[in-house]
């Protein structure tokens, strides 16, 4: 389907994406109908079909949008990092803060494994590529081992996902900066 060409169209598509994320996050893919999404977005049913052909399409778009939101939320924090290890600490801290405000991401991403496996894989793949890029840049600067690669990137991403679940969704009983600092001690010992 088409991308919006006007500001009004961009606002409408954004409203649909936000509403779909809320509905899928609260009720799940199968229990959510297109009319639930359009009602929450306060748009006409026809507006939905201007941007999405089916519920599966908006679900895939929501997964991609959430993935992009994580990257956008974390990027400014990483820019403040003094080195590669600090970047990973700040990235985790930013991710934990994002998750605390967007807990629905876990239900949506978990469900995408079955509803849209390509989107599920793309979400994690793009996350790993961002981490891998940071690790390789840090290796080039001599801040971490020269041989860091994909396995380390997947390990960091896996750690971040489960820390987000525990400290961003289940219980927020620890400050995100504290959790990120503890996790960073693991990385510091294992990557130098």
Segment 135-185, tens digit of pLDDT:
999 999 999 999 999 999 999 999 999 999 999 999 989 999 999 999 999
Q: How many CB atoms lie within 10 A of CB 48?
A: 25
- The phi and psi torsions of 4 (rounded to 5 degrees) equal -65, 140
30 contacts 108 by C-beta, under 8 angstroms: no
35-58 tens-digit pLDDT: 999 999 999 999 999 999 999 999
74-122 tens-digit pLDDT: 999 999 999 999 999 999 999 999 999 999 999 999 999 999 999 999 9
Is the pLDDT at 192 greater than 60? The verdict is no
**Position 1 confidence tier, pLDDT thresholds 50, 70, 90:** low
CA distance 18 to 36: 12
CATH architecture, domain defined by 1-53: Orthogonal Bundle (1.10)
Closest CA relative to residue 61, chosen from 107, 26, 102, 14: 14
Q: Would you list the domain boundaries of the chain?
A: 1-53, 55-191
Q: Which residues contact 153 (CB under 8 A, 6 or more apart)?
A: 128, 129, 131, 132, 135
**Position 5 confidence tier, pLDDT thresholds 50, 70, 90:** confident
- The phi and psi torsions of 174 (rounded to 5 degrees) equal -135, 145
Cα Rg, the chain, nearest whole Å: 18
Q: Superfamily for 55-191? A: Tetracycline Repressor, domain 2 (1.10.357.10)
Please state the pTM of the whole predicted model.
0.92
Its sign, for the CA torsion 83, 84, 89, 91, is positive
* pLDDT value of position 71: 93
């Amino acid at each position: 389907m088409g991308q919006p060409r006007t500001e009004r169209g961009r606002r409408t598509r954004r409203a649909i994406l936000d509403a779909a994320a809320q509905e899928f996050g609260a009720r799940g893919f199968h229990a959510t109908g297109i009319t639930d999404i359009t009602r929450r977005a306060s748009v006409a049913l026809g507006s939905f079909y201007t941007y999405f052909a089916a519920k599966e399409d908006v679900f895939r778009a929501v997964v991609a949008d959430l993935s992009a939101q994580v990257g956008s939320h974390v990027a400014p924090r990483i820019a403040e990092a003094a080195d590669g290890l600090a970047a990973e600490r700040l990235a985790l801290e930013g991710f934990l803060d994002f998750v605390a405000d967007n807990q629905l991401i876990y239900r949506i991403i978990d469900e995408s494994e079955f509803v849209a496996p390509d989107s599920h894989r793309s979400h994690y793949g793009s996350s790993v590529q961002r981490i891998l890029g940071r690790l390789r840049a840090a290796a080039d600067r001599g801040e971490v081992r020269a041989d860091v690669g994909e396995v380390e990137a997947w390990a960091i991403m896996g750690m971040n996902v489960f820390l987000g679940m525990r400290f961003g969704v289940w219980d927020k009983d620890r400050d995100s900066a504290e959790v990120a600092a503890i996790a960073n001690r693991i990385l510091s010992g294992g990557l130098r």
